[in-house]
C-alpha cells in the first residue's frame, strides 16, 4: 500500500501540472470555435470529449485514493486486532495456569 500511496501522490502531482494544459486547450478551443464557424461543431465535440476524459481521470484518482484509505484502515485494524489477540492469549495462559510461585515474593 505504500507503493500505491506513492503512485497516487505522483499521479496527483501530474494532474496538477496537466490541469494548466487542459485549461489552455479549453481557452484555445473556445477561441477557435468563435473564429471558425464551419468547423465549430467538430471543435465543440472534441473539446467536450477531452473534458469528459479529464474529469474521468480526476474521478478515477479520487476513487483510487478512497479505496486506498479504506485498505489502509482495514490493514491497521487487522494488525491491531492481531496484537490484541496475541496479548489476550498470553494473559489467558497466565491466568489459567496452576503455577502460584514457590514463596510469598513470587506469588
**How does pLDDT run along the chain (107 residues), one tens digit per residue?**
778 788 888 888 888 888 888 889 889 888 887 777 767 788 888 889 999 999 999 999 999 999 989 999 999 999 999 999 998 888 887 777 666 666 666 55
Predicted TM-score (pTM) of the model is 0.58
Whole-number pLDDT of residue 30: 83
Q: What confidence tens digit (pLDDT) does each residue in 81-93 have?
A: 999 999 888 888 7
pLDDT value at residue 107? 54
Q: What one-character-per-residue DSSP string does the chain give?
A: -HHHHHHHHHHHHHHHHHHHHHHHHHHHHHHHHHH-STTHHHHHHHHHHHHHHHHHHHHHHHHHHHHHHHHHHHHHHHHHHHHHHHHHHHHHHHHH-----SSGGG-
Give the pLDDT of residue 8. Answer: 83
Amino acid at each position: 500500500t505504500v507503493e500505491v500511496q506513492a503512485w497516487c501522490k505522483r499521479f496527483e502531482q501530474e494532474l496538477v501540472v496537466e490541469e494548466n494544459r487542459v485549461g489552455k486547450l479549453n481557452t484555445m478551443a473556445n477561441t477557435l470555435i468563435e473564429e471558425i464557424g464551419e468547423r465549430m461543431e467538430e471543435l465543440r465535440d472534441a473539446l467536450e470529449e477531452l473534458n469528459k476524459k479529464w474529469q474521468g481521470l480526476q474521478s478515477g484518482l479520487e476513487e483510487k485514493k478512497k479505496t486506498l484509505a479504506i485498505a489502509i484502515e482495514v490493514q491497521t485494524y487487522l494488525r491491531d486486532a492481531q496484537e490484541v489477540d496475541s496479548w489476550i492469549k498470553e494473559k489467558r495462559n497466565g491466568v489459567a495456569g496452576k503455577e502460584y510461585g514457590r514463596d510469598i515474593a513470587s506469588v
